[in-house]
Structure 1
């Protein structure tokens, strides 16, 4: 019987462009495991305008990366308490007013969140010209291909991988790699100056990427307290460049700004700072969980 390989990432050192080398410091806190090649690894990089939290999930049958949707919005700490996850990153977009998702979420093959069911989104006259693109944004997918778990990043309308069954998916967007698709996914409209997520302004950001070997990397960019808020964080083009430097071949943006939040090893980090430089603890609708695969417990 073939072994089941779950995708992950052994952290590899890549050449960093000058933008990310200046004044940067690195601290690595691995989990306890017999081999670095089989270890979830956490890295924090202090850059001139941000602090970046990176979680690398190795290609190992012990771990799963799966989306979870909450009936009501909750902090990543509350998700952690409920699901006993090893790590959590905020995921899809949502409307904080009605607490409904504006991103697709699929769990165990069933659609549990459909943006077309969000009346505030569908009935917003300012968004009507963009709805077809909003309903076809990028999503992070988990497949079962025979006995093998495979992850992918694709547009919502893209067909499933041949011979594979779609198990889970969570929408976000735009795609960061192999190309930045801000206009294609209706986050930006240069004709009227639309920039729905402030893509060209530094801010806190969240992203997920896939390495060549199929392993996964989660990234949360936090604003830096000693940097002027308007200059603190990353733009979307900078985030795309950063994902490339850590080896991602495919990558997608997740909900950012005040939603950017990350949990690992009992500690929660919130990415957005308020005017007095204190973290904003925002509740979110969906997250990505890193859990041990029950088959291997």
Structure 2
């Protein structure tokens, strides 16, 4: 159509429009909003939100002083959460004192520091694992010359040259491209220790990255009347890998697993009576409903 426009202008006696000028008026590709789907399996219901355009729909971090449900945190971001398309529970925390057990960075500032949680740092049973606990994997959002970029890496890994760290939230272990449970100190197969219950079916939350740049949020919900119910971490990794995810990070799961999409909140964990557990959390990953221009 632009070539036809140039020819028409030339025939009407006006100077032809240079090709470069025509390129300036060609509209940008439309933003691709997040896509939500539900996958029903025999022992799990998997809620998936894919963000195919995380440059214009950036995945952000939010953290609260007092523990709150995911939908409550979203409502603090804007009236009744109306600006939030999707939100997923994120980092680890201590439910006894409401303090974080993983690092959280928001807008370039450290806003939650596990070193300030004495129940964590001062626990003698964790002393031999503390270096690994404080170097847990995290989901990161960078600003690389004005363009958002994402990664899943260990906390102590450096920020890429030319980029600044905008948001980060720690959890773990990594699920893809490989399971880092042993490296992060959560699993000791010799001692039969599995602190996060990685090998037992449960409600799960995870975030992943595809090779095309898409960000994927996953929340695994248990199924009423089915026992055992949910997924192991290995099953979550396989599910995400089958959907093209190349990097994946396990987030806080079990009773914390919660995903909100367009005002509807989905919970993952069932109690012994088969009722959904609505647990307050410390931090979330969220996506705004209006794209950046």
Q: Which bracket does the TM-score occupy, shorter chain normalised?
A: 0.7 to 0.9
Cα distance in structure 2, aligned partners of 1:233 and 1:292? 29
State the Cα deviation string for residues 62-118 of structure 1 (Å, max 9, x = none). Answer: 311111110000001101222231111000000001100001000111111111111
Alignment TM-score, normalising by the size of structure 2 = 0.86
2:5 is matched with none
CA distance 1:44–1:256, change in 2 (3 Å): same
1:209 is matched with 208
Cα offset for 1:147?
A: 1.9
1:54 aligns with 2:48: yes
Q: Which stretches of structure 1, 4 residues or more, deviate above 6 A after TM superposition?
A: none
Cα distance in structure 2, aligned partners of 1:82 and 1:250? 30
1:256 is matched with 253
1:102 is matched with 101
Does structure 1 retain, via aligned residues, the 8 Å contact 2:106–2:166? yes
2:8 is matched with none
CA distance 1:36–1:276, change in 2 (3 Å): farther
2:239 is matched with 242
Match of 1:152, SS state, is: strand
CA distance 1:39–1:174, change in 2 (3 Å): same
Cα offset for 1:39?
A: 2.7
Cα offset for 1:60?
A: 5.5
Cα distance in structure 1, aligned partners of 2:31 and 2:243? 16
2:3 is matched with none
CA distance 1:250–1:60, change in 2 (3 Å): closer
Match of 2:201, SS state, is: coil
Match of 1:121, SS state, is: helix
1:5 is matched with none
Alignment TM-score, normalising by the size of structure 1 = 0.84
Cα distance in structure 2, aligned partners of 1:192 and 1:214? 39
Cα distance in structure 2, aligned partners of 1:265 and 1:293? 12
Match of 2:205, SS state, is: strand
Alignment of 1:109-120 (within 5 A): 109-120=108-119
CA distance 1:211–1:290, change in 2 (3 Å): same
Gap regions ≥5 residues in structure 2: 1-28
Does structure 1 retain, via aligned residues, the 8 Å contact 2:54–2:213? no
Match of 1:59, SS state, is: coil
1:42 aligns with 2:36: yes
CA RMSD of aligned residues (A): 1.5
CA distance 1:190–1:274, change in 2 (3 Å): same
Q: 1:269 aligns with which of 249, 266, 269?
A: 266
Cα offset for 1:38?
A: 1.3
Does structure 2 retain, via aligned residues, the 8 Å contact 1:61–1:293? no
Cα distance in structure 2, aligned partners of 1:68 and 1:54? 20
The structure with the largest alpha-carbon Rg is 2
Cα offset for 1:194?
A: 1.6
Cα distance in structure 2, aligned partners of 1:36 and 1:173? 34
State the Cα deviation string for residues 12-56 of structure 1 (Å, max 9, x = none). Answer: xxxxxxxxxxxxxxxxxxxxxxx9981311010000110000000
Does structure 2 retain, via aligned residues, the 8 Å contact 1:64–1:292? no
2:91 is matched with 92
Cα offset for 1:193?
A: 2.0
Cα offset for 1:294?
A: 7.2
